[in-house]
Each structure stands twice: as C-alpha cells, then as structure tokens.
Amino acid sequence: MRVYLDNAATTPLDPEVFEAMKPFLLEDFGNPSSTHSHGRKVRAAIESARKKIAELLNCTPGEIIFTSGGTEADNAIIRSAVETYSIQHAISSPIEHHAVTHTLNLLEKQGALKVSHVQLTSSGDVDLNHLEDLLKAHPNALVSLMHANNEIGNLLDIEAVGALCEKYKAYFHSDTVQTIGHYRHDLKKLKVHGMAAAAHKFHGPKGVGFMYIHKDKKIHPFMQGGAQERNLRGGTENVSGIMGLAKALEICYQHLDEHRTLIEGLKKRMIKKLNDTMPGVSFHGNSGNLETSLYTVLNVSLPESEENEMLLFNLDLAGISASGGSACSSGATTGSHVLGALYPSSKRGAVRFSFSKYNTPEEVDYVVDKLAEIYKVSV
C-alpha cells in the first residue's frame, strides 16, 4: 500500500480542477494584456475567477491579487507594507513560516525595521496579553502572525488579534496558507489587512496563489515591469493556474463541511489508534486537540529511540509519505525551527501526518501498524 499523508506540504490536484485548466493550456492561450479578441477572452476569464474568489471570501474583486503562491504573497505584503506606511517595528513569532521569518530578519538586518517576538505558551499559542503590551509600546507596527501553524497545527485567534491591531492602528498580515480552502473567511468582518494563499494547499495547481489586500490598506507594487494585477504585480498572469485556483476554492466551499467531517474523523481515528498502540506517544503543540488545531494536521511526538533518526526513511520504505516539518525546509540539515523553539531540549521523535479528502480509514490503520513495526511494538 502507498499512503500519502503530507497534504500540508501539497495536495493532489482535483480532476475537476484539471478540467477547468485544460482550455487555458490548449485553446485559450491569448495574453490577457493584449487588446485583441484572444487576449480579451482570457482577460474576461481571469476577472471572472477573481470575482468568484472574492464572492467566496466576501470581499471585493479588487482586493484579490494573483501571485505565484504563498511565499511571494507573504514577501510582497510584508515588504510593501513596511515601505508604503513607513513602518519601523514589526511584531511576529519565532514559529512563523520561513517566508515570514526570513523576510523580517532580512529587513531588520538591512536596518529597515526592528522585530519583536510575541511570547508563546508552552504549546505554541500566542500570548495575547504580551501581544497587547508590545502593541502599546509600538503602535502603528506591522503584526505578522499566521492563522494556523503548518507544522503543529495551532490555530490563532485571528479575530482577537485583528481587534488588537485595530485598537493600536497596526497593519495586520496573516499567513493563511494552511486555512484558505479549509475554513470559511468572511473578509468583510475579519480585521486583517493582508492575507496569503496558495492553490496547491487545497487541491489546486502549484505555482499560483493570491494575496488579499484590504482596500483601505493598499500597498506599493512589489514586482515591477508591468501594470498587471491592479499595478501591484508586474508579469503575465498564470492563466491556467488562476482558473485552477478559482475552481479548487469553489469546490472546497461547496463541500467544506462534508470534507471537514471526513478529515476530522481520520485525525481522530489516528489519535485513538496511536494512543492505544504506541506507549509514551504524545502530540506536539495543540495538534492532538481537535478544537484548537488544524483538522488536517497531526504532529506526533514519539519517545526517545534509536529509530527516530531513520523514521521518515523507514516510513518511506513502507510506502508512507509524511514529513518531519515544513516541506520548504526539507533540504535543510537542521531540524524544525518550530519544534526547536517550543521544545529546545527534547530528544523525542517527530513526524507530521497531514490529511486530505482523498485519505481513508484503512490508510490510517496501515500507518499506525507500520509505526508499531518500526518501533517493535506488539500490536
């Protein structure tokens, strides 16, 4: 059996999404910036996709800017917000995605701003009292905190953070790459100024995403060279990718409750089977709590063992694809910066399993059985 449980890294393309993309790969190939009929047809399709996404998120079409993915969106929002509003201080956390932490670290190194890290609880939640203290000391700051952590699944109280940012006139950016397509976002109510999304996290194509930029908090262009995307992102649009993104998000919203119930059931099943099977097992962050973590992510903490070093390799040999952390760090020689920040002295093993609508209970059972074999546990 081959089992794919690394959906937080990327998801398989939905066949309906592929069908929506095909005409713009084979037939409707015009440049959307061209004024002739070929270009106008493609331009109309892009704007229709933008309108669909805006309807699903309850915002205006002009607030949706297409990008190459989540990393570009995070970079663009942070860098451009700092420049546009002459922001001198940023507030973030040590467990953000590297698209955020590396960008902020570089800006600080260049002398563009100072960065403060909000305190976290032992399980990785943002300390809202400390966040307010930082905002009191640094009003008009940039706050960059992700909606859900890609490694341990912790969910941010994004409404509470948005209210604090409004109170202290901060620019609020949130990396929502793990939650777009998996949760409903009402952007008319949510007090966030910039958000990032990547289509391949919700069964769309790779290489395309978008940023939401609140109409009252517009930013300077991040990429030069053309007037595309409301003059904010030069370069010919990835037309087939945009079509796939819009279709994937539409499918997600049509079946969100159904798929959430299915995936939560798989996660709950794995938690129970691991607790019943693996002595000393626990779960990193809040990932073992169905109420306070992403329903798609379970980060398993395994007791100290000589098997931990080769765990992902042995799972791969058994036909199981999982992760030790963020896929964007898969080539790194160092461990997860998230787990390192929360458990600096831990020698326990770690594996992140992440689920999608295509996984089955039989796959969950197989994975737990193989883990028991690797750790020589009698089932």
* Residue 355 lies in domain: 3-11+256-374
Q: Which of 200, 231, 254 is the last residue of a domain?
A: 254
266 and 307 inside one domain: yes
User: Which whole number is the average pLDDT over 216-237?
Assistant: 89
Distance separating alpha carbons of residues 264 and 295, to the nearest angstrom: 5
Q: How confident is the model at residue 101 (pLDDT cuts 50, 70, 90)?
A: very high
- Tell me the per-residue pLDDT of 192-213, one tens digit each, with 9 for 90 and over: 999 999 999 999 999 999 999 9
101 and 7 inside one domain: no
CATH number at residue 293: 3.90.1150.10
Look at residues 263, 300, 266 and name the one whose alpha carbon lies nearest to residue 283.
300
CATH number at residue 141: 3.40.640.10
Distance separating alpha carbons of residues 218 and 239, to the nearest angstrom: 24
115 and 68 inside one domain: yes
136 and 201 inside one domain: yes
Give domain status of residue 314, yes or no: yes
Give domain status of residue 206, yes or no: yes
pLDDT for residue 214 is more than 60? yes
pLDDT for residue 102 is more than 90? yes
- The pLDDT assigned to 379 comes to 58
- Tell me the per-residue pLDDT of 276-335, one tens digit each, with 9 for 90 and over: 999 999 999 999 999 999 999 999 999 999 889 999 999 999 999 999 865 565 554 467
205 and 266 inside one domain: no
130 and 178 inside one domain: yes
Distance separating alpha carbons of residues 351 and 267, to the nearest angstrom: 14
Give domain status of residue 379, yes or no: no
208 and 73 inside one domain: yes
39 and 186 inside one domain: yes
Look at residues 163, 124, 168 and name the one whose alpha carbon lies nearest to residue 142.
168
Give domain status of residue 226, yes or no: yes
Q: Do residues 201 and 177 make contact, with C-beta atoms less than 8 angstroms apart?
A: yes
Residues recognised as catalytic: 328
User: Which whole number is the average pLDDT over 324-351?
Assistant: 78
149 and 232 inside one domain: yes
Q: Which of 231, 254, 277 is the last residue of a domain?
A: 254
Distance separating alpha carbons of residues 335 and 344, to the nearest angstrom: 11
Q: How confident is the model at residue 99 (pLDDT cuts 50, 70, 90)?
A: very high
Q: Which of 254, 282, 297 is the last residue of a domain?
A: 254
- The pLDDT assigned to 354 comes to 98
282 and 246 inside one domain: no
Distance separating alpha carbons of residues 112 and 88, to the nearest angstrom: 7
138 and 188 inside one domain: yes
Give domain status of residue 370, yes or no: yes
Q: What is the 3-state secondary structure (H, E, C) of the chain?
A: CCEECECCCCCCCCHHHHHHHCHHHHCCCCCCCCCCHHHHHHHHHHHHHHHHHHHHHCCCHHHEEEECCHHHHHHHHHHHHHHHCCCCEEEECCCCCHHHHHHHHHHHHCCCCEEEECCECCCCCECHHHHHHHHHHCCCCEEECCCECCCCCEECCHHHHHHHHHHCCCEEEEECCCCECCECCCCCCCCCCEEEEEHHHHCCCCCCEEEEECCCCCCCCCECCCCHHHHCECCCCCHHHHHHHHHHHHHHHHCHHHHHHHHHHHHHHHHHHHHHHCCCCEECCCCCCCCCECCCEEEEEECCCCCHHHHHHHHHHCCEECECCCHHHCCCCCCCHHHHHHCCCCCCEEEEEECCCCCCHHHHHHHHHHHHHHCCCCC
- The pLDDT assigned to 121 comes to 96
Count of domains observed in the chain: 2
Give domain status of residue 334, yes or no: yes
pLDDT for residue 56 is more than 90? yes
239 and 316 inside one domain: no
Give domain status of residue 89, yes or no: yes
